[in-house]
Structure 1
Amino acid sequence: MSTTNRPRSQTGPTCLDLSRAEAWVVHHVALSALTDDGESSHAPQPWWALETAQKLEAGVRSFTQFEGWRLRVELLAYAADLSTPDGDAAVARTVGDRLERSFAPAPPAIENDMAVDQALRPDLD
């Protein structure tokens, strides 16, 4: 992530101004993380995806720093997926870029964990 004016340890959620199309793509990505067929039925659902979906369904557009980091990774992976429609991919990249500017960079350990999570996702092969 690039350097931002946000403090490293941001407190409180950050509100993102999302268009209807952007909110739809973010919601779709969150739901996809929740309904991933590759996960065991006993595996816990990713809390950040559940929180994101619930917030969007309630009309809330505020996200914590960690949610922002996770969303960015998931949105960029969705945008890079060749099966993603071009319009959705462009929207996902736009929101991913906005998230990068809105939040402090993720610490290397978290970036690495998120990269490992992405590599282990069978639906992204």
Structure 2
Amino acid sequence: MASGAYAEGQTHHIAIHVNENDPQVMNIALNNAQNVANYYASKGDEVVIEMVAYGPGLNMFIPGKSPVEDRISTMSLEIETLSFSACGNTLAAMQKKAGHDIVLMSEATVTPSGVVRLIELQEQGYAYVKP
């Protein structure tokens, strides 16, 4: 094989980290996911992408607060291997401060700790991306 060439049909794993309540950062993270998915699809490869949000970034998954709510809903349908993980520690802290339960978008899955989830994904060989 030539330098930089590889066999078609590989599966790539990407963890994308969002911890800012910033529409620009959230959109860049989603752009990263879309661009990576498009790139590898064009090469005949598969890509598994998990977006992990914690801290102020958890607002990305709160209906009515998320500036990217519609994009998440659309992209989750278009990219079957894209998933969204929400930090349970952040969610519990937000609920305590608000004094009531906070419902997340149906696309988001609660994980006990966003930081621990990122560690686990990297230990499983996921590439780490922070927009």
With the length of structure 2 as denominator, give the TM-score of the two structures.
0.29
Could you say which structure has the higher helix fraction? Answer: 1
Structure of larger gyration radius:
2
Which protein, 1 or 2, shows the higher relative CO under an 8 Å CA cutoff with sep ≥ 6?
1
Could you say which structure has the higher strand fraction? Answer: 2
